[in-house]
Amino acid sequence: MKLIMFGPPGAGKGTQAARLEERYGLKQLSTGDMLRAAVASGSDLGKEVKAVIDSGDLVSDDIMVRMIEARIAEADCAKGFILDGFPRTEAQAEALDQMLAKTGEQIDAVVVMEVDEDELFKRIENRAKEAGDSARADDNAETLRKRLGVYKNETAPVLPFYEARAPAER
């Protein structure tokens, strides 16, 4: 089973993906976590992407597609996976399709999470408060506004790509 968790920042994609991982043994793949790990490790990739992440912009499709392609080929993804934070652009969605098609696979379902904007601001504020000193640099109202703009302009248009394929039950 291959799932995509889809929704704006703060919608709860990571929380729900973690529950699905525990219950069904599907591997949660959070591209945000992978990028933050790269930043924390001080790798060349981490140095390259830190400023982009902190500003609320998107890391390049090229980097993200290579990262996911390598990750889903690992043994712990054999039973399936839940993508949390990928794809975020139409180019990423197309690249994902192509990489899965190489082995005759495809995405089984897209879980869409919808949350009011006011609530997103509250959640991000709470998340930053709870994390204290280790709060994410992009978890603040100003950067959230930017991230929501990026979501609307670049990520939300990915949804029709999947809807066109299989009309989902709502």
Residues 98 and 42: their CA atoms lie apart, in Å, by 31
Beta strands 109-112 and 2-6 are parallel
Is residue 16 at the binding interface for ligand AMP, with CB under 6 A as the rule? no
Total residues contacting ligand AMP by CB under 6 A comes to 17
Which listed range, 58-66, 97-105, 106-114, 124-132, lies at the site for ligand AMP (CB under 6 A)?
58-66
Is residue 31 at the binding interface for ligand AMP, with CB under 6 A as the rule? yes
Q: Is 23 a catalytic residue?
A: no
**Of 87, 89, 115, which Cα lies nearest the Cα of 12?**
115
Nearer to ligand AMP, 26 or 53 (CB): 53
Q: Give the x/- contact pattern for ligand AMP in 80-119, rule: CB under 6 A.
A: -----xx-x---x---------------------------
- Name the residue with tokens 């490790």: 41
Which residues, including other chains, have CB under 8 Å from residue 58's CB and lie 6 or more apart?
52, 64, 88, 89, 150, 154
Residues 124 and 9: their CA atoms lie apart, in Å, by 8
Nearer to ligand AMP, 32 or 81 (CB): 32
Q: How many residues make up the chain in this entry?
A: 170
Which listed range, 56-64, 94-102, 105-113, 119-127, lies at the site for ligand AMP (CB under 6 A)?
56-64
Smallest gap from Cβ 154 to ligand AMP, in A, equals 9
Residue 11, both tokens: 């919608």
Is residue 28 at the binding interface for ligand AMP, with CB under 6 A as the rule? no
Q: What is the set of active-site residues? A: 13, 88, 127, 136, 147
